[in-house]
Amino acid sequence: MNVVYSSTLSTQDYCKLRKSVDFYEISEEHVRRALDKSDFVISAAVDGAAVGMARLITDGTQVFIMDVAVHPDYQGNGIGRGLMERIRQYMDGLECRRVIVNLITDSSKEGFYEKLGYQKAEGMRLWLENIEKT
């Protein structure tokens, strides 16, 4: 399988990949804003079709890895690892002494990240939904 990695991702492909892995739906306007505000975006394509994605947001000392997704038909082929390796290469290029990496994942995917050196950590979070602007 020939996988092509790229630093571009369309809003349509982003939405399709989110849906394929049962992430909650967001509007194309929110997708456009999320992609525009990302510091690094990586996608994976097979035969011209997007099959994987990930993005990263950073202030230079903290990194947030977001939306790591590989279409279920292509999972287990090293695509997720390829995406995360490219994320790591980007992080290695950050010019700071220490970087804190933040990643929230489904418990069924923890093993994947542990193989890449990530460690489970306790913490707190506040999840807000349906926030209306006034």
Residue 96 lies in a domain: yes
Residue 126 lies in a domain: no
Domain that holds residue 111: 3-115
In this predicted structure, what is the pLDDT of residue 95?
77
- Tell which residue, 33, 19, 11, 30, has the closest CA to residue 130: 30
Residue 34 lies in a domain: yes
Residue 66 lies in a domain: yes
Residue 60 lies in a domain: yes
Q: How many CA atoms lie within 13 A of 86 on its CB side?
A: 20
Residue 120 lies in a domain: no
Residue 129 lies in a domain: no
Which domain CATH number covers 20? 3.40.630.30
Residue 121 lies in a domain: no
- Tens of pLDDT along the chain (134 residues)? 899 999 999 999 999 999 999 998 999 999 999 999 999 999 999 999 999 999 999 987 788 899 999 999 999 999 999 999 999 999 888 877 777 788 777 778 888 888 888 888 777 666 656 555 54
Could you tell me if 55 and 62 are in contact, meaning their C-beta atoms sit under 8 angstroms apart? no
Domain count along the chain: 1
